[in-house]
A and B are shown apart, each in its own frame.
Chain A
């Protein structure tokens, strides 16, 4: 059987999420093709072609694909679907936006947020904010999956020499118009790929405090910055920073939670981190129940101390 993996990239590089989805696709066995869509993807396609086990890389370009309009992306993937028994998509906001459309058109049940490929038709996925894991078997001939990247190791083996082939995007009469983008640009590592994450909560109290307290620590550790929902809702941090059940799911080597209480919805997004540190002035805060190292302290003194101790 053949699997089509949909690449996630930033226009220049494949994201880690793609390498992890490739790893999940290997569990399905069979030929793996990768689809890279967007505009000006010529730099990205060869990266996908270099991984061992990739048979073919398909590229497709159009302004609508670059804007990631779900109707356009799903039409493109559907035009290729006949050739595949499974379509594996990274469970990013973008993937979650178009994947259900593909399943709907194929009249199959989407299998979302796969964390384990048990066999070609059986998968494990988290439900109830990760408080339960369900193992489900599908009777659909074609599978459409979204893959939770943090649950898989990125493929590393290169040496592949897949061919790169351009496909044309089917014409769709869109009822959607792209208006504008408001992307946060930052030199920091992306949350999803960072080895270290420094995350702030409601305790920080203002956007200025959020930045002035967390940035020096993040700079020192080469870390990405995350936030609780409370911090994002209050406008201390952009929406893209939210870690949790309904934000980003992360699993860095080191996660430092500053002034975050540890609500289940937040834990759902970070409890698979390798080492968790909690800095909170309330010794009863639930975050301490999952933290490897807890420091009961006011962040106002603890963070400057920590910076000093890091030297």
Chain B
């Protein structure tokens, strides 16, 4: 079985976000970037399936600026076999990303695509579902458990009110939730090895898909700030304050 794992380069989740004063966007100059945490979980799951012997090849793909090579190297160090960078300086909408990933899937013919449920920058939670629709493959989103059972994949999903288990026929698209696994740190020898693994670079134009934006950003602003209130020194004082505030 072959797995395709799309990984996105995003602002590191620990970095404090700064909105640019001209309201044109978020300041990404000189800040730490990293692999989207949900995509690390996707890579980890693929590597675990490979370690179990179910999977023979893992291909990581990223769409983004030249520096996105770094997150692909991380994926390779974690255990992916090959990588593909579709290089572009444009911010693509999920629809465009999914169209490119569809073209990659048609070329690579994976049996399974595992990707993050959401990128922590755009927070769209959309690309996997769109890709599944475009490919006409079944989808199993927000996975907290994945099990291969013959030609079917059993996926336990985090849904409103608890968990749901679906059986999806392969090929399929799975998106990861936080509790699917805990991603490993790449070891130094594996980081060294990853430098020698194959990484192809292509251009968006190579795929001939429509990536024209449908959305234009009018402005990006900072949310209203909440200011710190007061410290109280006892439970009684807390209750008195809550009564005054009208919430008890």
Contacts and interface: CB of A to CB of B under 8 A. Distances in A.
A179 B123 contact: no
B165 A179 contact: yes
Nearest to A115: B223
Interface in B13-39: 13, 16-17, 19, 26, 38
Contacts of A103: 95, 126, 130
Contacts of A291: 228-229
B148 to A, nearest CB: 14
Interface string B164-192: 11111100100001110000000000000
Given A134-B220, A254-B242, A178 B235 contact: no
Contacts of A288: 228, 231
Given A135-B218, A136-B217, A180 B164 contact: yes
Interface stretch (A22-30, A40-48, A49-57, A233-241): A233-241
B93 interface: yes
Given A175-B137, A184-B162, A128 B241 contact: no
A206 to B, nearest CB: 18
A75 B185 CA distance: 41
Interface string A283-311: 10000111111111000001001101110
A94 B159 contact: yes
Contacts of B121: 127-128
Contact of A309 (B126, B168, B235): B235
Nearest to B37: A246
Interface string A183-216: 1100000000000100000000000000000000
A113 interface: yes
Contacts of A177: 152, 166-168
B242 A293 contact: yes
Given A132-B223, A175-B168, A295-B238, A70 B139 contact: yes
A240 B159 CA distance: 7
Interface stretch (A79-87, A161-169, A270-278): A270-278
Interface in B87-111: 93-95, 98
Given A112-B125, A128-B120, A240 B161 contact: yes
A309 B218 contact: no
B228 A109 contact: no
A229 interface: yes
A227 interface: no
A277 B230 CA distance: 10
Contacts of B245: 275, 292
Contacts of A296: 231
Contacts of B221: 132-133, 135
B146 to A, nearest CB: 13
B226 interface: yes
B140 interface: yes
A183 B157 CA distance: 11
B189 to A, nearest CB: 29
A97 interface: yes
A162 to B, nearest CB: 26
B112 to A, nearest CB: 13
Contact of B247 (A98, A135, A274): A274
Interface string A142-178: 0000000000000000000000000000000011111
Given A94-B160, A100-B94, A104-B95, A110 B232 contact: no
Contact of A175 (B138, B144, B231): B138
Contacts of A131: 16-17, 19, 222-223
B196 interface: no
Interface of B: 11, 13, 16-17, 19, 26, 38, 93-95, 98, 117-118, 120-130, 132-134, 137-142, 144, 152, 154, 158-169, 172, 177-179, 213-223, 226, 228-236, 238-239, 241-242, 245, 247-248
Pairs A-B, 7 closest by C-beta atoms: A305-B235, A292-B229, A100-B129, A131-B17, A104-B133, A109-B214, A100-B126
16 contacts: A94-B159, A104-B98, A109-B215, A111-B215, A112-B124, A127-B26, A133-B221, A135-B218, A179-B166, A182-B165, A221-B248, A246-B177, A294-B230, A295-B233, A306-B239, A309-B235
Given A100-B94, A295-B234, 14 more contacts: A69-B166, A92-B160, A97-B129, A101-B132, A103-B130, A104-B129, A128-B26, A131-B222, A177-B168, A221-B248, A290-B228, A293-B241, A306-B235, A309-B239
